[in-house]
Chains A and B, each alone.
Chain A
Amino acid sequence: MRSFRAYFKKEFKEAARNYKYLILAVGFIFWALLDPLMLKLLPLILKASLPVELLSQFTNINRDYAFLNLLKDLFQVGTLFFVFSLMGIISSEVSKKKLVLPYSRGLKPEGMVLAKYIHYAITVSIFIFAAFLTNYFYVKSLFNSGVLSIQIVLWSCFLYILYFAVILALLLYMSSLFKKSIIPGLLVLAIVYGFNFFNQLSLIRNYLPNYLILRAADLGVFFDTSLIPTFFISVFLIAIFIFLTIIRMKKIDVA
């Protein structure tokens, strides 16, 4: 418990002082602010240069389309910000020998790993939640029509939080395997984007966490039985990646 407490406080200080909160906030909330504005202003900007038929596509945007645009950006660009800012979560500590003094003082690896995971899971959840709410209020005031409601936004938000929780656990484990931070970063991105392909295969897609992203974009449709294996597998993956990271950190030579 004391290792957990010490590392939780340390992660908080580190994220604040090394601008990680700021980077993550930009990665998530920035798009929530920018997307609706861009969709609203784009027809005005392009008015003079686009033919009328093409321009009508931009003027007929409703709330649902604007919200889906945020979901797409969070998955495509938000993931990049998230992975690149946290890819050294363990690897840089090992490679720079920052763990030598804490380990020599009897640091418990399980405390450290859990503190890192829980801290960033909470952080990312707050930023995703803030991004979704901000976007919702913007979209509601800038656009008309569509089925979008606060319930739909919160449901999609929950699915995104669960998805990023799985990615965080995967990133944590990958980061414990390599000393160079860029390797786990690229591997996780390859997995995240590569697995999105499986969303086209209806037979297996609900057994993979990427199905959460697909379902978050299915506006107006809430929980159904197809999500049960997805939830189960997502939680299982989080637990297994954290467990494997702890095992790895117990056996690793930190000096």
Chain B
Amino acid sequence: MAGRKKKNLIKVADLKKSYQRLEVLKGISFDVKKGSVFGFIGKNGAGKTTTMNILTGLLRFESGQILINGMDFLKNKIELLKSIGYLPENPVFYEYMNAYEYLNFIGEITGLKTKKLNFDILHLLKVVNLKIQAKRRISGYSRGMKQRLALAAAIIHEPDILFLDEPASALDPEGRLEMLALLEELKRRGKTIFLSTHILNDAERVCDEVCIIEEGRILLDEKLSDLYDKYIQPVFDIEFEKELTVETEILNKLSWVESIKACGKIINLSVNNIKIGRAEILKVLSGLDNYVTSFQIRKSSLEDIFINITNQGRKVK
């Protein structure tokens, strides 16, 4: 895949949505590449669920354009919905039905053939770990079980695009890991996943690209790898074999070194240019008499980046 440019599957341009006087989406634009996992991140009330509801045809919008697979979403809604699966944050079911009946009901609406549908439902119930409870009424299900059933309903027709709104929010740690493994499997099978999540560790694990939304505006939309490079902190943490003697003095003389904190065998070295620092530091350290036992560039997590960006209210896009 390296070097090959992926095609944009979803293109959203200047999307606006208001609830009476409250402008929830203030002209957001972004692209989602085919076969990628697109992390849609934001605080509560930022506009994530509204965006997802619009992209799945459940809400109308005032202005803007949505293209899915090159087709106008408004004009080809019914056709495009066939290739979309949606897992809402709080799925609601007909609770007097059991899981098997509900999936059958959704399958019938989708237009799946009865014989194949029966087989698919049994397989899906196994995938989402609900096979044992398949004949139990949904009213007796926990929130996590309902979320897993909603996931089964979302993927019953093998959609090309999946919209997942907080898919792991109601799951226990084991269920969360299973969900992430399932997302990785779906990604491996070439599905495009639009993932809204609060759990940034999950986004870090599965997303290719992240988009941060705040108060109805996109603050950032970048590849995760580029983001780490961009928001990497210009600090090197170096540990030496022996107590520090002349090392601090030598390093301090270098033009690209901003400051040094030294304590015992450890140096925290800040640089004014991360690129030069990365290129030069190992050369300098190899020339010293004191051996290096540990060396690392201090990395920002997605959580650090998210907090940093949302606090600054920095508008990248």
Report A238 CB to chain B, min CB distance, Å.
Answer: 25
- Contact of A104 with B105 in the complex, beta carbons under 8 Å: no
Instruction: Kindly list chain B residues whose C-beta atoms are within 8 Å of the C-beta of A255.
Output: 49, 53, 58-59, 88
Instruction: Kindly list chain B residues whose C-beta atoms are within 8 Å of the C-beta of A17.
Output: 96
Given contacts A255-B58, A255-B59, whether A106 and B105 have CB atoms under 8 Å apart is no
Report A112 CB to chain B, min CB distance, Å.
Answer: 9
- Contact of A101 with B91 in the complex, beta carbons under 8 Å: yes
In the bound complex, CA of A93 to CA of B150 (Å)? 17
* B301 adjacent to chain A (CB < 8 Å): no
What band does the interface of chain B fall in when counting residues whose beta carbon is under 8 Å from A?
20 to 34
* A218 adjacent to chain B (CB < 8 Å): no
Given contacts A96-B92, A106-B81, A106-B82, whether A101 and B57 have CB atoms under 8 Å apart is no
In the bound complex, CA of A98 to CA of B139 (Å)? 13
In the bound complex, CA of A253 to CA of B62 (Å)? 13
- Contact of A97 with B92 in the complex, beta carbons under 8 Å: yes
* A49 adjacent to chain B (CB < 8 Å): no
Residue of A nearest to B149 (CB): A101
List CB contacts (< 8 Å) of B22-46 with chain A.
none
List CB contacts (< 8 Å) of A90-110 with chain B.
96-98, 100-108
- Contact of A103 with B108 in the complex, beta carbons under 8 Å: no
Report A13 CB to chain B, min CB distance, Å.
Answer: 6
Partner of B109, one of A6, A97, A98, A253: A6
Closest 6 CB pairs of A and B: A255-B58, A6-B108, A255-B53, A17-B96, A104-B86, A106-B81
Interface of A toward B, CB cutoff 8 Å: 2-3, 5-6, 9-10, 13-14, 17-18, 96-98, 100-108, 251, 253-255
Given contacts A100-B58, A105-B110, 13 further A-B pairs with CB under 8 A are A2-B108, A2-B110, A3-B109, A6-B105, A10-B97, A14-B96, A100-B91, A101-B86, A104-B57, A104-B88, A105-B157, A106-B82, A106-B109
